[in-house]
Structure 1
């Protein structure tokens, strides 16, 4: 299958090399009782649908570990464009573009692959299952629209954990990236079995289309 070439290239890009991804234990004292302002805060984050972030990605799984730079992740409501590159191999960018239910992957040499099953393409390319359509929600500190979920809050009334689709999304750090706006995740760790995916966000910004 042609996915073999995709897998070899993108695995080298994302998962090559060796990195240590330490997972902190869940803090004690979490509660499922949301703070009084949770409805207003989550509604404000839900309105945040036109944005761009930069950061880093670290992956650990039984067979491979590695890091990649998130050159940018641009979101325009349901439309996304994500550009990744390897910080240690010096390879060119690989981009993922799509909407829920469709994805196009472009390799550094310009070769493109399309699929109506985003999870299947990501799985074929990287070797791990990731509910990519939920990421735009989780990265903002919200549960995705698909599947049941549980929310856990810490003693400072911040969202600490989302459990959904078999994943546990841990919010390790929040920061006030945008003036007059609720704090946004600065570091999240997604855990599913022996799979670990960590995203460290270095910048968030609103783009055209969001209300103030």
Structure 2
């Protein structure tokens, strides 16, 4: 093989490998940066330590198959364990409770029927028709990325977390509660988007619980 042909093929190979290894990032929205503010390390550590809490609020789900809303009568989080009580007339759900830890969920419907599964998202969808990333929501609701998968954080011009992009979802932080004496500033409303699915959580009240 002539040297010039070998050199040309080698150049093509290098270019193709370089193209395959390039990660294409979406352009940043106007006024956003992916450079965290100086206090982000301390703030995120504070949020991770805030792992015993209770909130009330409202949940709204919109997806191609159906849509609906539910009251969050309580969402109690104690470390990795959650206890979520919803009430809704949507699809006859009535009062539904979800209790679980990562990798396990127990779902009880209004009629008393109880289901258990090692796949929380699949059980939630089978029982209610809603596609909710429950295990990730326990992190996103505090303004943190879920551990165990890649993510990208975007901050606004005030240094506040504005968007988390993770696992194909875009989580937008629309409003924040003010910081209290013993509770860090926490989201008041978040919107999670993926394809044609939208999950919105409006938090009316946060409370810290004793470990």
TM-score, length basis structure 1: 0.82
Q: Give the equivalent residue in structure 2 for 1:174.
A: 176
Give the drift of 1:180.
4.3
Matched, 1:135 2:130: no
Aligned position for 2:96: 94
* SS of corresponding position for 1:45: helix
- Match of residue 85 from structure 1: 87
Residue range with higher mean Cα deviation, 167-176 or 177-186 = 177-186
For residues 80-135 of structure 1, the C-alpha deviation after alignment (integer angstroms, 9 at most, x for no partner) is: 00000016799641000000000000011111000011121112123343321111
User: What CA distance in whole angstroms lies between the structure 2 residues aligned with 1:89 and 1:177?
Assistant: 37
Q: Does 1:158 align with 2:160?
A: yes
Alignment of 1:36-115 (within 5 A): 36-86=38-88, 92-115=94-117
SS at match of 1:114: strand
In structure 1, runs of 5+ residues without a counterpart are 1-25
CA distance in 2, matches of 1:90, 1:155: 44
- Judged with a 3 Å threshold, the aligned counterparts in structure 2 of structure 1 residues 177 and 118 are, in CA distance, closer, same or farther, namely same
Distance in 2 separating the partners of 1:87 and 1:126 = 11
Q: Secondary structure at the match of 2:45?
A: helix
How far did residue 206 of structure 1 move?
0.2
Gaps of 5+ in 2: 1-27
Aligned counterparts of 1:89 and 1:138: Cα–Cα separation in 2: 26
Contact 2:74-2:85 at 8 Å conserved across structures: yes
The 1:27–1:56 alpha-carbon spacing in structure 2 relative to 1, beyond 3 Å, is farther
The DSSP-based 3-state class of the residue aligned with 2:165 is strand
| Aligned-pair Cα RMSD in Å | 1.9
- Which structure shows the bigger proportion of residues in helix conformation? 2
Q: Distance in 1 between matches of 2:145 and 2:86?
A: 24
Alignment size in residue pairs? 184
Q: For 1:93, what is the secondary structure of its paired residue?
A: strand
Are the structure 2 counterparts of residues 88 and 124 from structure 1 closer, same or farther at C-alpha, using a change threshold of 3 Å? Answer: closer
Give the CA deviation at 1:60. 1.0
Cα distance in structure 2, aligned partners of 1:129 and 1:68: 14
Q: Is the 8 A contact 1:177 1:203 kept in 2?
A: no
Structure 1 residue 27, shift from structure 2 partner: 5.9
